[in-house]
Amino acid sequence: MLHLALCVLYFAVLLALSAYGLHRLHLVVLCWRHRKEIARAQLMPHVAEEDLPKVTIQLPLFNESTVAARLLDATARMDYPADKLEIQVLDDSTDETQALVRAHVDRLRERGVDAVYLHRTNRVGYKAGALDEGLKVAKGELVAIFDADFIPQPSFVRSIVGHFADPQVGMVQTRWGHLNRETSVLTKVQALMLDGHHLVENRARYGAGLLFNFSGTGGMWRSKAIEAAGGWQHDTLTEDLDLSYRAQLAGWKFVYREDVVSPSELPEDVSALRAQQYRWAKGTVQSARKLLRRVLGSEKLTFAQRLEAFFHLTPHFAYPLLVLLSVLLLPALVLMPATDTITMIIVDLPLCVATTGSLAAFYMVAEAAQGRKRTGALARLPMLIALGTGLAPHLCKAVFEGLRHMAGEFVRTPKQGDNKGRYRARADLPLLETGLSLLSFASTVASIQTGHYFATPFAMLFTIGYGYVAMLVAHEQATRRREAATRILATSSERPSDPVAAEQTVGDLAA
């Protein structure tokens, strides 16, 4: 009986993961089928100079001293009539960023730039709250948003503003670029993951007329669309996804421009990446709790739109399934007899294709869409699977947190900029990842001894993935503690004169 229950549970998990894999293949097919509609987005209506609308660019900041000046300078270079462009700095900072940004805004105003500095003494609603406060006093009928680690290009506004000549267009999203793509294996894999989102998911959904989302930055909204959808709300940690669905349910159309690229900075350490992915995972689950029933029950949406929305709002549930699969793998290998070759071809091979094969096709399309070699995606695929696996235990916590609680603290992703040691994310000891790595290593050995050869490469990837992330987190923590101890020894004879160094030392020890 136990053997049967294990078998049913094991294959149920595999089938669920395969469903998400087949969905990725479906998006690849949609990209090809709707390639003409996707390309047509670049044919933007021309707007005469005198008819250009007023635009406000919102720059939400929180303790971003390493990148704030770069962001402001880039935004001030925007190729758009000065009398129709407002730069709105929404600064919730509690450190030296306040003084730096306020002084920078003053200098821009002296040059004739319409720059406004707004500082809140609390972080009510976090980023969503800051955007909502800024929208109340924004001069523009259109509002563009850039996070602190982005570098807006001078042509950004002119490249997309014409789409709003259609009164039904509520938002235009552009593609993210990656300033530090080639810095490390970690950034290369992240870049590939984000390229998959922008160049497969967004393109496919837009081209097929399905619902897709504003990515939180690098896009432009019609202010009336925000207001009509109920405004920025902060009961989830993914306010961008939440607003996107509410706006589209209210009838607004979205446009995706893959040819307009907004460069940004990728997290260069795994602790910052885990913090970012945790927020995205928890917020997406919260958005699913908030919106999925309403979406699935909407009579205004087609069946295809509702089905795609289900997969769009639930992808992070694959992480608990992945961890469960890792745990079930060893007893399944020991208790279930090895299948013969024919059974492997009939059962195991299709499951492998649905999972791994769909990933390969998905990211090959993403690479090809930007003129890169498809083989680059194949070369990085093992590390992408390993990294995704290694992040799974941490993101499981995010999924369960999202199921239990709405809202929560918005932990912003630390930005590197010109000072790579200034802001750092905290991380727990990677005990769970270490344990799962050891368990997966035992599964690797068991798969060979029992003749389950199809399971061997997956068990090895689990082992490498959990071990890789555990090693990176442990190494980062050890390095920070050594650096903090060195600073303490260097300043033990006198009180620190640099408050930033003192704050960083305390933070590193706490982490």
pLDDT in tens, 213-265: 999 999 999 999 999 999 999 999 999 999 999 999 999 999 999 999 999 99
* Whether pLDDT at 485 is above 90: no
Q: How far is it, in rounded angstroms, from Cα 127 to Cα 106?
A: 23
CA pseudo-torsion sign 480, 486, 492, 495: negative
- Other CB atoms within a 10 A radius of the CB of residue 432 amount to 17
Query: Could you say which of 91, 92, 132, 149 is catalytic?
Result: 92
pLDDT of residue 380: 93
Residues 425, 410, 181, CA angle at the centre, nearest 5°?
50
Q: How confident is the model at residue 93 (pLDDT cuts 50, 70, 90)?
A: very high
Structure tokens at 147: 């996070």
pLDDT of residue 358: 86
| Region 259-273 average pLDDT | 93
Percent of the chain predicted with pLDDT > 70: 88
pLDDT of residue 433: 94
- Other CB atoms within a 10 A radius of the CB of residue 447 amount to 24
* Whether pLDDT at 502 is above 50: no
pLDDT of residue 476: 86
Q: How confident is the model at residue 332 (pLDDT cuts 50, 70, 90)?
A: confident
Query: Could you say which of 240, 242, 269, 508 is catalytic?
Result: 240
Per-position b or e across 180-218, b if 16+ CB within 10 A of its CB: bbebeebbbbbbbbbbbbbbbbbbbbbbbebbbbbbbbb
If we measure between CA atoms, which residue out of 385, 398, 478, 399 comes closest to residue 440?
385
* Whether pLDDT at 497 is above 80: no
Q: How far is it, in rounded angstroms, from Cα 258 to Cα 506?
A: 43
* Whether pLDDT at 504 is above 90: no
* Domain of 164, in residue numbers: 1-511
| Region 270-288 average pLDDT | 94
Contact, 74 vs 147, CB < 8 A?
A: no
Percent of the chain predicted with pLDDT > 90: 70
The string of DSSP letters for 224-235 reads: HHHHHTT----S
Q: How far is it, in rounded angstroms, from Cα 343 to Cα 452?
A: 12
* Whether pLDDT at 499 is above 60: no
| pLDDT tens, residue by residue, 134-184 | 999 999 999 999 999 999 999 999 999 999 999 999 999 999 999 999 999
pLDDT of residue 57: 98
Structure tokens at 337: 């007899």
Which residue is listed with tokens 């021309």? Answer: 46
Q: How far is it, in rounded angstroms, from Cα 144 to Cα 87?
A: 10
Q: How far is it, in rounded angstroms, from Cα 369 to Cα 241?
A: 24
pLDDT of residue 210: 97
Q: What is the CATH number of the domain that holds 432?
A: 3.90.550.10
* Whether pLDDT at 411 is above 80: no
Helix 318-335, helix 2-33: angle, nearest 10: 140
Phi, psi angle pair for 52, to nearest 5°: -60, 135
CB-based burial of residue 472 (10 Å sphere; 0-12 exposed, 13-18 middle, 19+ buried)?
Answer: buried
Lowest mean pLDDT among 376-380, 397-401, 409-413: 409-413
Instruction: State the average pLDDT for the chain.
Output: 89
Strands 219-222, 169-178: parallel, antiparallel or unpaired by DSSP?
A: antiparallel
pLDDT of residue 251: 96
DSSP state of 150: B
* Whether pLDDT at 39 is above 80: yes
* Whether pLDDT at 419 is above 70: no
Q: Which residues 6+ apart lie within 8 Å of 413 measured at CB? A: 149, 267, 272, 275, 276, 279, 425
Q: How confident is the model at residue 421 (pLDDT cuts 50, 70, 90)?
A: low
Q: Which residues 6+ apart lie within 8 Å of 170 measured at CB? A: 221, 222, 224, 225, 226, 229, 247, 248, 252, 253, 254
- Other CB atoms within a 10 A radius of the CB of residue 52 amount to 18
| SS3 state of residue 101 | helix
If we measure between CA atoms, which residue out of 263, 266, 274 comes closest to residue 190?
266
Asked if 114 is an active-site residue, the reply is no
Q: How far is it, in rounded angstroms, from Cα 391 to Cα 388?
A: 5
pLDDT of residue 152: 96
Asked if 149 is an active-site residue, the reply is no
Lowest mean pLDDT among 65-79, 337-351, 431-445: 337-351
Which residue is listed with tokens 């992703």? Answer: 413
* Whether pLDDT at 360 is above 70: yes
| Region 394-418 average pLDDT | 80
Domain count, the chain: 1
Q: How far is it, in rounded angstroms, from Cα 453 to Cα 447?
A: 6
The string of DSSP letters for 285-332 reads: HHHHHHHHHHHHT-SSS-HHHHHHHHHHH-GGGHHHHHHHHHHHHHHH
| pLDDT tens, residue by residue, 66-86 | 899 999 999 999 999 999 999
Helix 2-33, helix 358-369: angle, nearest 10: 20
H or E segment and range at residue 368:
helix 358-369
Q: How far is it, in rounded angstroms, from Cα 243 to Cα 401?
A: 21
The string of DSSP letters for 20-83 reads: HHHHHHHHHHHHHHTHHHHHHTT-PPP--GGGPPPEEEEEEESS-TTTHHHHHHHHHT--S-GG
Comparison of pLDDT for 27 and 494, the residue scoring more? 27
